[in-house]
Amino acid sequence: MKKLLIALLFLTGFSALAQETNNGKKLWAKSVLNEKAPKLVVEKWISKQPNTEGKFVLIDFWATWCGPCRAYIPVLNEIQKKYGDQLVIIGVSDETAEKVEAFNNPKIQYFEAIDTKAKVKNALEVTGIPHAILIDPKGIIHEMSNIIAIVGRPNVGKSTLFNRLTESRKAIVDDMSGVTRDRHYGVGEWTNRQFTVIDTGGYVANSEDVYEAAIREQVMIAIEEASVLVFMVDVTTGITDLDDDIAQVLRRSNKPVFVCANKVDNTALYNEIHTFYGFGLGEVYPLSSMTGSGTGELLDEVVKNFEDIPEEENQLPKITIAGRPNVGKSSLVNALIGKERNIVTANAGTTRDSIKIHYNQFGHEFMLIDTAGLRKKTKVKENLEFYSVMRTIKALEEADVVVLMIDAVEGIESQDINIFHLAEKNKKGIVILVNKWDLIEKNTQTMKAFEEQIHERIRPFTDVPIVFTSVLNKQRIFKAIEAALEVYKNRSKKIPTSKLNDVMLPLIEKFPPPALKGKHIKIKYITQINATSPMFAFFCNLPQYIKDPYKRFIENKLRENFDFSGAPIQIYFRQK
């Protein structure tokens, strides 16, 4: 339930959320957070009355004349489509039924109700539109997620502040402008209130540059998602035309905006902040994101706009997509989620940060992590790429399953093998995804020959799923995810001790370890060790005499009898 709530808050960026029962025309909602909702009565249903038992219900207050309301309709249509088995969306308007029924641009694909006397709106203390209220299946209302979006022109210190607020080094920082491209998320805490921080790329209005245009779209999405906006400006340069362009966008957002004059590294610069009052966006907060000076005062004011939502530790499977540059990692992410989440160009090295995405579609829920491409060390020449590589390695180390993408045209190269062994060394589940398969001239033996070539290069760990796909044509992309989730299940599989001994001991008795110096090795007992990846202990009289060939024999027998496809196995021989 909580996971669906978080997914909705990230997808919509709405400022508040309510629910309905099946008794007549009663809706359940609440005007006080974390308490049971009062009863509400719908004046008239335009659509059929929905069945809301055991579901979340999102009530969207809207009107046909409201431009922002109309802009939300496609988003709500998409959410209803994706989460229809867990969520009911109801659009409530105080206009006449005739006017609402005549409206079809865009067409509403969720449930609709009329509230001309504003009884529902008043009971929920809704004072303006667009406004939405979500109630969980227990009748408890939830309001805005605590999301801060940091926006500003390039190179004003947004990523440095992001790192400061999240107490991390997730965002890459460099003196060169335009380092951050995709938006990405971190979690911060202030005075026992948790919040999400969105770091965005530098906003450049009206630019035709392929990256800056894509960054602009990412910034607009972040503004829609956020509940609070932090507008970063540079005190050393004053107000620029780019700052004015961003200020205009923020004024139209109708969300709390905090103007932060960054790089106030000494008292002399403090007097320069007054020029930023010219934006007309309210108080200006001087700070230095590099040293942290002023961030406390900023957060004291920001958290006043928050509500308390207890955060859960993310227990979802983490699937990291890794590979050499330009093999199609970001394209795969965009194809899976059905929208341009990450920036994609023909240039290698477009992705610089590791981007985490909450995936919840078609009955599958997990964290999907897009990473920067890994080149050989000798080819890493920029500081930026060095940091990107470090982020990718960290994302790989934190993953449960690594999807290694290979370019079918170039074939499996030494760097692909290095990434494979890095994942294997860290005991991660592995799936090999051969992309651009549509560009290969094929016959009935092509796929088998390519698989044999891969197995030859990755020996001795060859029990790895291999999926051939074309991300561009969306061919077999969901098979890759199914394979990754199956590997996740194999990696966390626990074999009962009795079953393990019943299967393995007769095999060991039939093929015992070779005797060494006239001494016979007897394995008496086997158990699986409690760990995040498959780990087995074999208790015997002379563990020091067990050699690697016999260990590989034991591993092969474990794989034959218990499905551990894609999961590295660790085997230990211990003194009984």
CA pair distance 320, 313, nearest whole angstrom: 18
497-575: which CATH number, 3.40.1160.10, 3.40.50.2300, 3.30.470.20, 3.30.300.20? 3.30.300.20
- Angle at Cα 37 formed by Cα 138 and Cα 361, nearest 5°? 45
Residues forming beta bridges with residue 135, ordered by sequence position: 57, 141
pLDDT at 381: 42
Q: What is the CATH number of domain 147-305?
A: 3.40.50.300
DSSP state of 45: E
Instruction: Report H helices in 167-294.
Output: 210-225, 241-253, 267-270
**Per-residue exposure over 17-40, b if at least 16 CB sit within 10 Å of its own CB, e if not:** bbbbbeeeeebbbbeeeeeebeeb
CA pair distance 550, 216, nearest whole angstrom: 58
212 close to 178: Cβ distance less than 8 angstroms: yes
Q: What is the CB neighbour count within 10 angstroms for residue 537?
A: 15
CATH superfamily of 318-491: P-loop containing nucleotide triphosphate hydrolases (3.40.50.300)
pLDDT at 26: 39
Domains 147-305 and 318-491 share a fold: yes
Q: Which of 500, 542, 501, 536 is nearest to 520 (CA)?
A: 542
pLDDT at 194: 73
pLDDT at 569: 93
351 close to 371: Cβ distance less than 8 angstroms: yes
Sequence spans of domains, the chain: 2-142, 147-305, 318-491, 497-575
Q: Are strands 228-234 and 26-28 parallel, antiparallel or unpaired?
A: unpaired
Q: What is the CATH number of domain 2-142?
A: 3.40.30.10
**pLDDT mean values, one per 10 residues, the chain (576 residues):** 45 36 37 56 84 79 80 78 78 89 87 86 70 71 69 86 76 40 64 77 61 65 79 92 89 90 87 90 91 90 73 71 82 74 39 63 80 51 44 76 90 86 89 91 89 90 91 88 93 93 94 87 91 91 90 93 92 88
- Measured CA distances, 210 to 156, 216, 344 (Å): 21, 10, 10
Q: Which of 374, 451, 366, 371 is nearest to 400 (CA)?
A: 366
* Sign of the four-CA dihedral 541, 544, 546, 551: positive
pLDDT at 307: 61
pLDDT at 536: 95
Residue 498, both tokens: 């009795």
